[in-house]
Amino acid sequence: MKAPPFAYAAPASIEGALALLAAHEDAKVLAGGQSLMPALNLRLAAPSVLVDINAIPELSEVSITPAGLRLGALVRHSRIGTNSAIAGAVPLLGLAYPHIAHGPVRTRGTIGGSLAHADPSAEWPAVCLASDAVMEVRGPGGGRDVPAEEFSLGIFTTAIEPGELLVAIRFPAWPASRRAGFAEVARRDGDFAMVGAAVTVDLGADGTCTDARIVLFGASSRPVRRREAEARLRGQVPGAALLREAASLAAQGIDPPSDLHASAEYRRRVAPVMVRRALADALSLPEARLAS
Amino acid sequence: MNAPFVGQPVPRAEDVRFLTGRARYVDDIRPEGALHAVIARSPYGHARLLGVNKASIEGLPGIVGVIAADDIAHLPAEIPIRLAPLEGFQRFLQRPLASDRVRFVGEAVALIVATSRHAAEDALEQLEVEYEPLPAVVTYDAAREGAELLFPEAGTNVATRYSASMGDADAAFARADLVIERHMTAHRHTALPLETRGLIAHEEADGILRCWGATKVTQWNRRALAVMLGRPEHSMDLIEVDVGGGFGAKGEFYPEDFLIPFAALRFGAPVKWIEDRREHLLTTNHSREMEATVAIAFARDGTMLGMRAKVSADMGAYVRTNGGVVPAKAAQFLPGPYRMKDVALDVEALLTNKTPVGTLRGPGRYEAHFFRERLIDLAAEELGLDPAEIRRRNLLRPEDMPWSIGHLVPYEPPSAVDSSDVPAAFDAVTDAIGYEELRWEVRKPQPDGRLHGIGLACFVESSGAGPSETARVELREDGGLRVISGVSTQGQGHQTVLSQIAADAFDGGVPPSEIELLNGTASLIEGGFGTYHSRAVVVGGSAIHLAARSLRAKLLRVAAARLQLRAEDLVLAEGHLRREGSVQKLAALAEVRGWMREAGETPDATETFKPDGRTYTCGAHAAHVAVDTETGQVEVLRYIASEDVGRAINPLMVHGQAIGAAVQGIGAVFLDELVYDENGQLLTGSLADYLVATSSCFPNIESITLENSPSTLNPLGAKGAGEGGVVACAAAIANAIADALRPLGVEINHLPLGPDRLLRLIPEKPAP
Ligand SMILES: Cc1cc2nc3c(=O)[nH]c(=O)nc-3n(C[C@H](O)[C@H](O)[C@H](O)COP(=O)(O)OP(=O)(O)OC[C@H]3O[C@@H](n4cnc5c(N)ncnc54)[C@H](O)[C@@H]3O)c2cc1C
């Protein structure tokens, strides 16, 4: 389990990184290395050049403004999970964090790496989708914004084009009336989810749902919004029965993958349970958590 | 006899070294100029091997050479069977390199030696090996039917079949009021030590071929290697350094145990090979894959009258060193710690295109106890009896000892449970978990919406295999003791526990901290058999006890003569000789050592301990679980394991063994699983796919160590203490889950019980 031969460069600027990516067609960006290094050692990847972006200070910047939260692509999982200002700005980040890997992986792994890697069972892509995040992508021709919805394209595939770098993730400001919930099932603590749900619900003063986002992950080749289920909640005062309905709507028509840890059938069956539990937690309706 | 150390929770002496990074594992050995080996392995489950094109990597950077089957064809290179040689097995032995056919994914076809591991792995990608794939045999039925044969010349995939019985099962079944019969399966998994296997071999300037990284049974392995290499045994040594876990799998004689020394001789340089995790999962012995149809005959009052069983073990592609231990021990322990005298067993070992099978902590017992204990619960339900009550009515009692367990193992003499108090071990867990109350509590609706259940299981298992063990105890120049033993160590803490034994046998005159242990390495002592079958303390420790007693007697005899006192009036204390009843020190032991020399006596003693039979450990497990019926996830809320170890030399370490074993055993119910597809491809070749319990998975395990039935077969009274925590886990957890799911009409007959598998058993509620 030794990596195949590769050249290594650690540019100090985004421009430097982009230049290297432009010069070497099969170059790979190295962020936290928590997905890339195993792939190299298993010889599943054999890039000619590794472009290590860890020496680019800009990529680790965090800013919180009235417009929202902006996380540099190189911000580590552990910083997101342990910095109360970050989790305060986008509470879903804090709810998802305990489900991601373990200490050693969290201190190295980055949010940008997780998004660029695009594992369909990863937590951050689902959180980004449920929070209307926008990805800032930079390439030889300049920068562009990609909404989360258009960013994850499939298993290990994103909208990042060859030669491009994900530089930051922007989350819009979180309204005070927004509730969030997160639920997943994994084989062990810290394993990738078999299936999970990230939800946000906006409540009006009278308790009616004014808006909702329901995202399923691990249930298809990328995290997906479940708009019919969201629509079912809108304009209603959510109660246990409504959550059950929305949850089964959310799981309708999904075509989940099978793998060693969970069959498609398992995911189909558990997906609505995750949605229901995430909603129940978001809305503090413990009775909706229980099996009917 | 003064016994200040045995029985005390002496902290592990070796831990400081391990925890501060000062241990020396095989990969820490980095001889100058070492070459690095990697192994080309079959990507096919079953194929004709048409050729290895050595020229395809010749001249690549760093490549020193390639070894394929033709290079070893002149040697008698079949790996012999060490244990459990059942009839017919000789036809199915593995050679270190495949020659004309590969029979499992991962089978070695060539060895590449290079100046670095990287260069070797780069070349491995380029090596051309030609195969012609054949249909793979991966199921019990396909193996039995034999439409495709692994060894066409043998004409069968059935490695062996035998029947064994005691009493008259037919008569028992004829008397039965109730017969419970089920087809059940246990799943393939393996040992997962933190440290994988590894070897370094080098013929040093003195002409001795030394191999570091050996463990478990180094003396036997040296003998096997001598035959295979055609060199005298004394011209080589297998050296044990620190070992990061073995669990039965590490240290057996594998193909690499031949190939690496062979390469070292061929290339005249140290050759190093460290198994990577993928290789570990692909090539280190697997275990536990077994199907059984078991029937138990019951009387109306719950009395177990007799048992009939058919046990089939999937042995993988070859019979390796452990021979038929797994199926034979499963069959032997099917009756369990119950008063059942009429038993009939049919056993078969089947070859499939999977990794060969060997022992894993509690081999065969884990599976057998699962099969039997499930049936007992099913019977309890049919008969309207409480699961604890039906067990109590049948458990072996102290007055039944010794209890004959007949001649159920063809390659062993008849055996008997030496001593045991199973009811006490059983009461210990039912009391601890508050069974009488919990039994009703779990039936009530739970605030968390989950279904709760409680499961019980009892076990008996053997330990302390012979034939014998030899130990030498030397009085060092500084007055401390040096113990030399033939048992080996994979992390169990023998330095501590064997020192306690030696210290007490020496009347506590030398504290354990002044006792050094040399063991493991093949050349240290003759008459060593290694560490397996929980024998290191039971047999090895007894030999040390005898040797230390013998040295003590010799020392006192010399001192008495010198001082003109009676030996009975002398005592050993704090590294000195004293007169009984006096605090005055007569001489330091270092000085007494000089007296021994002067008297023409060597300051050492060697003794061999040959047990008369095996020791039997019994115990019980109780589990309280909560099942999430919507996700199939199970939480183990409480787990209690009792084990009557006869005598706990070091309760702290027995406790650690029990907890660790339970984590391993419970983990295997939910996590560990080696999955093959229909072509014999292993789908779980990394730790992302092969899941193993981590420290956060099962935090609620308690162990109860009992010393109710000291063994009468050794001077320590000790019995095996490393496996009791694992052997009944599948049984207790499965019973608890079945209890929880009883309202849903779910029966649990197959392992493992991960969430997907479990959810399939739980009927889906219609959507609202
Ligand atoms: C034991 C273990 C358990 C884990 N469990 C989980 C889990 O439960 N949930 C979870 O979500 N993840 C889990 N992970 C994955 C972990 O979160 C990784 O950190 C993450 O997937 C990748 O982030 P990274 O910074 O390490 O990226 P790297 O491994 O460095 O890179 C991953 C990929 O993204 C590309 N890339 C990285 N950064 C950029 C960028 N800025 N622009 C363009 N491309 C880029 C790389 O080229 C590479 O292809 C686990 C990992 C391990 C080892």
Residue A212 has pLDDT above 60, yes or no: yes
- Residue B765 confidence (pLDDT): 79
Task: Give the residue among B716, B707, B723, B711 at the shortest CA–CA distance from B537.
Answer: B716
Task: Give the residue among B642, B644, B640, B636 at the shortest CA–CA distance from B717.
Answer: B644
Give the largest Cα separation in chain B, rounded: 96
Q: Which atom of ligand 1 is found nearest the CA of A29?
A: 47
- Residue B110 confidence (pLDDT): 98
pLDDT over 90, % of chain B: 97
- Residue B502 confidence (pLDDT): 97
Tell me, rounded to whole angstroms, the distance of Cα B415 from its chain centroid.
20
In chain B, which residues have their Cβ closer than 8 Å to the Cβ of A189? 694, 696-697
**Which pLDDT band holds residue A40 (cuts at 50, 70, 90)?**
very high
Give residue-wise pLDDT tens across range B407-444.
999 999 999 998 999 999 999 999 999 999 999 999 99
Give residue-wise pLDDT tens across range A70-87.
999 999 999 999 999 999
Residue ranges of the domains in chain B?
Answer: 15-22+466-609, 33-136+194-283, 412-460+614-768
In chain A, which residues have their Cβ closer than 8 Å to the Cβ of B451? none
Classified as helix, coil or strand, B755 is helix
Residue A146 near ligand 1, beta carbon < 6 Å? no
Quote the CA–CA distance of A10 and A57 in Å, as a whole number.
12
In chain A, the N- to C-terminal Cα span, in Å, equals: 49
Classified as helix, coil or strand, B721 is coil
Let me know: does B483 contact B525? Beta carbons within 8 Å: no
Mean pLDDT for all residues in chain A: 97
Residue A216 has pLDDT above 60, yes or no: yes
Tell me, rounded to whole angstroms, the distance of Cα B678 from its chain centroid.
29
Residue B1 has pLDDT above 80, yes or no: no
A262 closest CB neighbour out of B629, B686, B756: B756
Does residue B760 belong to the interface with chain A, where contact is any CB pair within 8 Å?
yes
Mean pLDDT of B133-151: 98
In chain B, which residues have their Cβ closer than 8 Å to the Cβ of A245? 768
- Residue A22 confidence (pLDDT): 97
Mean pLDDT of B21-50: 97
Question: Cβ B696–A2 below 8 Å, yes or no?
Answer: no
ipTM of model: 0.96
Residue B767 has pLDDT above 60, yes or no: no
> What is the value of pTM for the model shown?
0.97
How many residues are present in chain B? Answer: 768
**Which pLDDT band holds residue B3 (cuts at 50, 70, 90)?**
confident
Residue B647 has pLDDT above 80, yes or no: yes
Quote the CA–CA distance of B43 and B108 in Å, as a whole number.
10
What is the per-residue DSSP string for B406-427?
-S--TTS---EE----HHHHHH
- Residue B2 confidence (pLDDT): 61
Mean pLDDT of A19-48: 96
Quote the CA–CA distance of B132 and B110 in Å, as a whole number.
17
Residue A197 tokens read as 């749900």
Residue B449 has pLDDT above 90, yes or no: yes
Mean pLDDT for all residues in chain B: 96
Asked if the domains B15-22+466-609 and B412-460+614-768 are classified in one and the same CATH topology, the answer is yes
- Higher-confidence residue of B663 and B695: namely B663
Question: Cβ A269–B765 below 8 Å, yes or no?
Answer: no
Architecture field, domain B412-460+614-768: 2-Layer Sandwich (3.30)
- Residue B27 confidence (pLDDT): 97
**Which pLDDT band holds residue A215 (cuts at 50, 70, 90)?**
very high
Long-range CB pairs of A245-251 (<8 Å, 24+ gap) are A245/B768, A246/A214, A246/A275, A246/A276, A246/A279, A247/A272, A247/A273, A247/A275, A247/A276, A247/A279, A248/A272, A248/B767, A248/B768, A250/A197, A250/A214, A250/A216, A250/A226, A250/A275, A251/A216, A251/A219, A251/A226, A251/A275
- Residue B448 confidence (pLDDT): 87
Let me know: does B271 contact B64? Beta carbons within 8 Å: no
Mean pLDDT of B461-486: 96
Question: Cβ B633–A185 below 8 Å, yes or no?
Answer: yes
- Residue of the CA atom closest to atom 13 of ligand 1: A101
Quote the CA–CA distance of B390 and B371 in Å, as a whole number.
16
Q: Which residues pair with B166 in a beta bridge?
A: B343
Tell me, rounded to whole angstroms, the distance of Cα B195 from its chain centroid.
16
**Which pLDDT band holds residue B766 (cuts at 50, 70, 90)?**
low
Question: Cβ A270–B121 below 8 Å, yes or no?
Answer: no
Residue A160 near ligand 1, beta carbon < 6 Å? yes
Q: Which atom of ligand 1 is found nearest the CA of A160?
A: 43
- Residue B352 confidence (pLDDT): 98
CATH 3.40.720.10, applies to B15-22+466-609 = no
Architecture field, domain B33-136+194-283: Alpha-Beta Complex (3.90)
A248 closest CB neighbour out of B278, B633, B768: B768
Quote the CA–CA distance of B520 and B237 in Å, as a whole number.
11
Give residue-wise pLDDT tens across range B317-362.
999 999 999 999 999 999 999 999 999 999 999 999 999 999 999 9
Domains of chain A: 7-52 (3.30.43.10), 58-172 (3.30.465.10), 178-286 (3.30.390.50)
- Higher-confidence residue of B375 and B447: namely B375
What distance in Å separates residue A248's CA from the closest CA in chain B?
Answer: 7
- Residue B722 confidence (pLDDT): 86
pLDDT over 70, % of chain A: 100
- Residue B424 confidence (pLDDT): 98
Give residue-wise pLDDT tens across range A135-181.
999 999 999 999 999 999 999 999 999 999 999 999 999 999 999 99
Let me know: does B362 contact B723? Beta carbons within 8 Å: yes
- Residue A292 confidence (pLDDT): 73
B629 closest CB neighbour out of A260, A272, A291: A291
